């Protein structure tokens, strides 16, 4: 099970633009 | 073609659409002690795209990290009514994907009026360009 912090980090990263 | 750092000066969205721009803006916000504003903004965008099974847990994580503590930079910039709306949503088993939208708009407005123009005048940005 992911910790809340991991989940939050994953969520923030998922919203960032991908490398061009 | 326009160099990326000139695009960053066009709008906050152009800045937040570029990995290097985000990195530099985040460094600036760290110096100013308000990097949480940017992290929260991205967390709200990510939340909308999160699968339903993770959404309830993620809503709690965002709420605990940025909103519940009234002395944090994000919490201080969000209206009381918006915080109370979020508090109601967090307790639900299936939170609305748009539950952080109003809070994100408020934080974005604050960045557009305040930290983003300061960033464009900062040594960090000027040295980069």
pLDDT tens, residue by residue, B39-91? 999 999 999 999 999 999 999 999 999 999 999 999 999 999 999 999 999 99
Q: Which residues of B touch A (CB under 8 A)?
A: 16-19, 22, 39, 42-47, 49-50, 54, 57-58, 60-62, 64-65
Distance from C-alpha of B110 to C-alpha of A4, rounded to nearest angstrom: 27
Closest to A9 (Cα-Cα) out of B128, B65, B26: B65
Cβ-Cβ contacts under 8 Å, B65 against chain A: 4, 8
Answer yes or no: is pLDDT of A20 > 70: no
Determine the pLDDT at residue A2: 60
B58 Cα to chain A: minimum distance (Å): 7
Inter-chain Cβ pairs, chain A and chain B, closer than 8 A = 50
Can you tell me which residue has the tokens 């307790």?
B91
User: Which pLDDT score, from 0 to 100, does residue A19 have?
Assistant: 67
> What band does B2 get if pLDDT is binned at 50, 70 and 90?
confident
The reply to whether residue B65 touches residue A8, judged by beta carbons under 8 angstroms, is: yes
Kindly state the average pLDDT of the residues B98-114: 98
Q: Which residue has the tokens 């994907």?
A: B97
The complex's ipTM works out to 0.91
In angstroms, the CA B47 to CA B66 distance is 14
Residue of chain A minimizing CA distance to B37: A12
């Amino acid at each position: 099970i992911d910790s809340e912090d991991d989940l939050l980090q994953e969520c923030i990263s998922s919203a960032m633009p991908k490398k061009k | 073609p326009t160099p990326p750092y000139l695009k960053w000066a066009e709008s906050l969205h152009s800045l937040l659409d570029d990995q290097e721009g985000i990195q530099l803006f985040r460094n600036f916000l760290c110096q100013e002690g308000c990097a949480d504003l940017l992290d929260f903004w991205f967390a709200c965008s990510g939340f909308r795209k999160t699968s339903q099974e993770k959404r309830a847990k993620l809503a709690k994580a965002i709420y605990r990290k940025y909103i519940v503590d009234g002395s944090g930079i994000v919490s201080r910039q969000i209206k009381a009514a918006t915080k109370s709306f979020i508090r109601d949503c967090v307790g639900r088993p299936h939170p609305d994907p748009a539950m952080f939208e109003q809070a994100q708009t408020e934080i974005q407005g604050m960045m557009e009026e305040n930290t983003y123009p300061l960033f464009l005048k900062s040594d960090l940005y000027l040295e980069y360009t």
